[in-house]
Amino acid sequence: MKEIKIESTLYIYQNLDELPKEAIELMQQAFEARENAYAPYSSFSVGAALLLDSGEVITGNNQENASYPSGLCAERTAIYYAGAQYPKAKIIRMAITAGSKKTQTTKPIPPCGACRQAIAEYEIKQNAPIEIYFMGETGKVAKSNSLANLLPLVFDKSVL
């Protein structure tokens, strides 16, 4: 038996103002996208913004459904749109903000496992890391230089 250790690195910023200017701008677009979330069942709204290598920004938000599992998270709404509309573009950076309409979220909220898997697919497809910034409504912001840090032991095409 051999033990293996898996390490991930995240950077924690004290607040939005500490981020590089281009990341602040992308996060602001995630906040705007979050305003249009359709989340009548959970009252938890999420906004995501993706910067493409063309300079274009794609945004998405969570879309819920009376048949709960039919809904989709903000991150996948955005990334599948980017994949569908701009299949050749590379995604440089992603900003995510999430929070309940009932309470104020002050800590970084990471993307769910299914979204990490979806983002991983595009990171592998484009063979270049996607920077990910995520936060709640206010407070600290977490940054990962690559999705790979958020999903060790990814399931990918190499096993198919």
As annotated, the active-site residues are: 75
Smallest distance, ligand THU to C-beta of residue 159, A: 24
Of 6, 91, 101, 124, the closest CA to residue 44 belongs to 101
Of 51 and 132, the one with the shorter C-beta distance to ligand THU is 132
Smallest distance, ligand THU to C-beta of residue 43, A: 9
Smallest distance, ligand THU to C-beta of residue 115, A: 5
Parallel, antiparallel, or unpaired for β 91-100 and 131-135?
Answer: parallel
Of 92 and 150, the one with the shorter C-beta distance to ligand THU is 150
Of 20 and 113, the one with the shorter C-beta distance to ligand THU is 113
- 111 touching ligand THU, by CB under 6 A: yes
Q: What are the strands of the beta sheet with 141-144, ordered from one edge?
A: 11-13, 141-144, 131-135, 91-100, 44-52, 57-61
One of 19, 33, 39, 151 touching ligand THU (CB under 6 A): 39
Smallest distance, ligand THU to C-beta of residue 155, A: 18
Contact 132, 122 (CB under 8 A): no
Of 43 and 54, the one with the shorter C-beta distance to ligand THU is 43
Calculate the CA dihedral of residues 125, 123, 95, 40 and round it to 10 degrees. Answer: 70
Q: How far is CA 122 from CA 7, 104, 127, 143, in A?
A: 22, 31, 8, 18
Q: Which of residues 60-79 bind ligand THU (CB under 6 A)?
A: 62, 64, 71, 73-75
Q: How far is CA 115 from CA 22, 45, 54, 74, 134, in A?
A: 23, 15, 23, 9, 13
Binding site for ligand THU (CB under 6 A): 39, 42, 44, 46, 62, 64, 71, 73-75, 111-112, 115
